[in-house]
Amino acid sequence: MTRAQRVRLATLLFLAVGLSFAFVVQAADAQVDTWSFVVTPQIWASHIDKNGFAAGAPSGPVKLANPQTLQVFGNPFVTDESKPVDALNPQWGIQFAAQKGRWTLAGSFQYVNFETRNDIVFDPAALSKFGVDSACSPRPFTSTLTFDCVRPGERFAQEFVDTTRIDMDFSASYFFPDVVPGFLDLSVGGGVKVIRATATRQFANLSAAAVDNVAFISAVGRGNGLYELCPKDEESIPPCGFRDRVKSSTWLYGATIPMSATFHLTQDARWLLPLNVTPFIGAETRNDRDVVYEFDNGNHVLNTTTVAIVPPLQVNRLDGTTFAYGATVDATVRYLINETVSAYTGMRVQYIKGHEKYLAYGPLFGLSVRFGGK
């Protein structure tokens, strides 16, 4: 998706929200009720099981060789799905709502910073067609050509990803009271969601072969690190270069359909059980800033004279714009302390699939304060 297309899409989303709000305000003005406003600070103690806001594949710079033939195999590693470094990552949020009659206009903001880890492990299946059972890096600064190798199943390195995520949601919904008299209320609406996530990535806990890789890269003057940045879609000689730390950014945006069912647990309706489901459908635009995470799997030879790979490795990039979908589900218990204040606690699960999978779940706590209204 080009910049112009993204601008047009953002403009359409803005106009759609504006028209929706205008329609809601017009409909609400026809009601005899006055406006009321609700402010709800909340905290979600989330366990982030999968970090979908950064590429999940191991980095492509790691081009290990067969010591006998100097064939270059590209990236012979696999990575497990990202694991959380911390058991819980608090997500701080605040919601604002304006209500009149059966209509509600709502907006919310959410922030979280968290770290995940990937284990980069040698995959013997990646090299089986070449008849070798290990992946090796040349040891630099030695009088004879020697190699350090990674055996099947051994860890090459660990990658740590530090991610900051900011969410914004806007919606309009309509309330259907007493669908089941004295027991069940429903509401349904429409809205938009925008997520901005930035990630910093860095390798640590390197094996001997990984250390050799970094030293060899530094020795030939192409940078220092295991991340490779390629402005073009093939690599033979520079301008591809290496870094020890890189950044990526993601925009995730689209439409939401907030729906809720509220069960009355007591006759006086002070104890409530709201079940909220918010499906999401849209797109994810990720920018890895020329970082390469994957190459083709062809048979290549390292030319030690020119430090070039023949034929060039073709880059398979893992960023750009792709279709995204997901849902957020809340199950809470709310107690109405009085006509102004209510508190709730429960569980939230969120799943998003764009370039990668994002999954988080954990307890949710909030306090709502109402102003105005009858």
Share of the chain above pLDDT 90, in %: 45
- Name the burial class of residue 5, with classes exposed (0-12), middle (13-18) and buried (19+) by CB atoms within 10 angstroms of its CB: exposed
Per-residue model confidence (pLDDT) at position 14: 44
Per-residue model confidence (pLDDT) at position 213: 78
Residues β-bridged to residue 359: 50, 351
Q: How far apart, in whole angstroms, are the C-alpha atoms of residue 228 and residue 159?
A: 14
pLDDT at 11 over 60: no
Worst-scoring range by mean pLDDT, 69-73, 174-178, 194-198, 355-359?
69-73
pLDDT digits (tens, 9 = 90+) for 128-157: 655 667 777 778 777 777 878 888 778 888
Give me the CATH topology for the region 3-372. Lipocalin (2.40.128)
Per-residue model confidence (pLDDT) at position 183: 94
Structure tokens at 164: 């900051």
Question: Mean pLDDT in the chain?
Answer: 81
Residues whose CB falls within 8 Å of the CB of residue 181, separated by 6 or more in sequence, listed in order: none
Q: What is the dihedral of CA 135, 137, 138, 141, to 10 degrees?
A: -150
pLDDT tier, 74 (very low <50, low <70, confident <90, very high otherwise): low
Compute CA distances 223 → 63, 212, 219, 229, whole Å: 15, 14, 9, 10
Q: Are 352 and 53 in contact (CB under 8 A)?
A: no
**Nearest residue to 290 (alpha-carbon basis) of 352, 223, 357, 353:** 223
Half-sphere exposure of 28 (CA within 13 A, CB side): 22
Q: Are 194 and 165 in contact (CB under 8 A)?
A: no
pLDDT at 165 over 80: yes
Per-residue model confidence (pLDDT) at position 17: 44
Q: Are 273 and 265 in contact (CB under 8 A)?
A: yes
pLDDT tier, 82 (very low <50, low <70, confident <90, very high otherwise): confident
Residue type, 37: F
Q: How far apart, in whole angstroms, are the C-alpha atoms of residue 353 and residue 336?
A: 36
More confident residue, 361 or 242: 361
pLDDT tier, 80 (very low <50, low <70, confident <90, very high otherwise): low
pLDDT tier, 209 (very low <50, low <70, confident <90, very high otherwise): confident
pTM of the predicted protein model = 0.80
User: Average pLDDT in the 234-239 region?
Assistant: 60
- Which one-letter DSSP state was computed for residue 295? B
User: Average pLDDT in the 274-292 region?
Assistant: 93
More confident residue, 366 or 58: 366
Per-residue model confidence (pLDDT) at position 68: 53
Domain boundaries, the chain: 3-372
Give just the sign of the alpha carbon dihedral 340, 341, 342, 348: positive
